[in-house]
């Protein structure tokens, strides 16, 4: 069964901006799905329509088979949303924010209290439950929003840039938590600008650009389309324009090289050639994340085709 089905979804704002130009999207139940796109690509509009915060111009959206327009309440009860921006009452406590959300979903107070405790413990905020939310750190505020979105145990959880502005330690712990939630059966749709996050967490992916879906496939097959991996090598001694057969070489500085390694070549051969040329490597790292490279390629290709 599809957790989310979008068909021919269009949105034109009153100022004439065509944010979505007839997108189709399907997310399977239990999936961890990445919805990627540059700023202004249409991600937030799509999420806004799915979560009933934005009125669609045309098209249909179904959540677990329930039409968000025709079967509004049933569709909404399946959905949990962690929005991009902090949108809770900053003068309320974390406890009340989560508790009230449970109430809005019709959960009786007694059960809501139990669920609130579970969710705040899950995001490691139980000790801060009585703290006024405006006194919480940025990472804690994001975790309050995650707890709030999970309090009614949604079958579909949409996380709109949940780790934006969060330090790496908290981000990693949030990844673990998201994985756990997904393992327990919740379908997750993630939008993020940290592409390594999408690559390490998500199994399927859609890329949206200028209101259109330009890629919709599984992560593994998408990544196999990347033909060249780029590495940055830091050298012991300066070199000048070395020639390495079968590899793209770009001199960044006298002691730093950028090497393009085609998929069919292996790194052992590269190091054999480097040793033969008496080039000693201190350290090596990926120039960019693989998905990031692919994302840039896809956007560039589309722009070239359009121009």
Partner 1 sequence: MSVFNAFNTIVRKEIYRFIRIWPQTLLPPAITTALYFLIFGKLIGDRIGTIHGTIYMDYIVPGIILMSVITHSYANVVSSFYSTKFQRNIEELLVAPVPNWVILTGYISGGIFRGVLVGIVVAVISLFFTPLTIQNPLMAIGVVLLTSTLFALAGFINAILAESFDDISIIPNFVLTPLSYLGGVFYSVDMLPLIWQHISLGNPILYMVNAFRFSVLGVSDVDISLAFLMTCGFIALLVLFSLWLLHRGTGIKT
Beta bridge partners of 229: 261
| CB nearer partner 1, residue 133 or residue 293 | 133
| CB nearer partner 1, residue 34 or residue 56 | 56
Instruction: Report the C-alpha gap between 177 and 186 in whole angstroms.
Output: 12
Instruction: Report the C-alpha gap between 7 and 60 in whole angstroms.
Output: 5
| CB nearer partner 1, residue 77 or residue 187 | 77
What is the SS3 assignment for 12? strand
Contacts of 71 by beta carbon, 8 Å cutoff, 6+ apart: none
DSSP 136-153: S-HHHHHHHHHHHHHTT-
Q: How far is the CB of 110 from partner 1 (least distance, A)?
A: 11
| CB nearer partner 1, residue 87 or residue 200 | 87
Q: How far is the CB of 143 from partner 1 (least distance, A)?
A: 16
| CB nearer partner 1, residue 96 or residue 204 | 96
E strand or H helix that includes residue 156: strand 156-160
Q: How far is the CB of 73 from partner 1 (least distance, A)?
A: 4
The whole-angstrom distance between residue 172's C-alpha and the CA centroid of its chain comes to 14
- Strand-pair category, 281-286 with 228-235: antiparallel
Q: How far is the CB of 107 from partner 1 (least distance, A)?
A: 6
Nearest to 215 by CA among 200, 196, 198: 198
| CB nearer partner 1, residue 113 or residue 226 | 113
Q: How far is the CB of 91 from partner 1 (least distance, A)?
A: 8
Residue 141's φ and ψ, nearest 5 degrees, are -60, -40
The whole-angstrom distance between residue 252's C-alpha and the CA centroid of its chain comes to 31
Q: How far is the CB of 193 from partner 1 (least distance, A)?
A: 21
Which residues contact partner 1 by CB under 8 A? 13, 48, 51-55, 72-74, 76-77, 79, 81, 83, 85, 87-90, 96, 100-109, 112, 148, 152
């Amino acid at each position: 069964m599809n957790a989310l089905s979008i068909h021919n979804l269009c949105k034109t704002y009153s100022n004439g901006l065509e944010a979505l130009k007839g997108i189709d999207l399907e997310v399977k139940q239990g999936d961890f799905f990445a919805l990627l796109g540059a700023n202004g690509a249409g991600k937030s509009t799509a999420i806004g329509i799915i979560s009933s915060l934005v009125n669609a111009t045309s098209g249909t959206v179904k959540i677990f088979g329930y039409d968000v327009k025709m079967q509004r309440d049933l569709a909404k009860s399946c959905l949990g949303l962690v929005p991009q921006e902090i949108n809770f009452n900053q003068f309320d406590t974390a406890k009340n924010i989560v508790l009230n959300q449970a109430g809005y979903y019709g959960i009786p107070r007694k059960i809501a209290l139990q669920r609130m405790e579970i969710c705040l413990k899950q995001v490691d905020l139980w000790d801060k439950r009585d703290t006024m939310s405006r006194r919480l750190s940025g990472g804690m505020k994001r975790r309050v929003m995650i707890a709030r979105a999970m309090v009614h145990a949604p079958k579909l959880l949409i996380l709109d840039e949940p780790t934006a502005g969060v330090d790496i330690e908290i981000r990693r712990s949030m990844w673990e938590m998201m994985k756990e939630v997904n393992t327990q059966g919740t379908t997750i749709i993630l939008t993020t600008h940290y592409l390594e996050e999408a690559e390490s967490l998500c199994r399927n992916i859609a890329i949206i650009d200028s209101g259109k879906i330009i890629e919709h496939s599984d992560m593994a097959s998408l990544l196999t389309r990347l033909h060249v991996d780029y590495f940055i090598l830091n050298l012991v001694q300066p070199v000048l324009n070395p020639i390495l057969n079968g590899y793209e070489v770009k001199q960044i500085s006298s002691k730093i090289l950028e090497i393009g390694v085609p998929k069919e070549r292996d790194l052992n051969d590269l190091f054999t050639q480097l040793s033969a040329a008496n080039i000693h490597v201190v350290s090596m790292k990926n120039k960019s994340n693989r998905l990031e490279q692919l994302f840039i390629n896809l956007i560039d290709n589309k722009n070239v085709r359009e121009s």
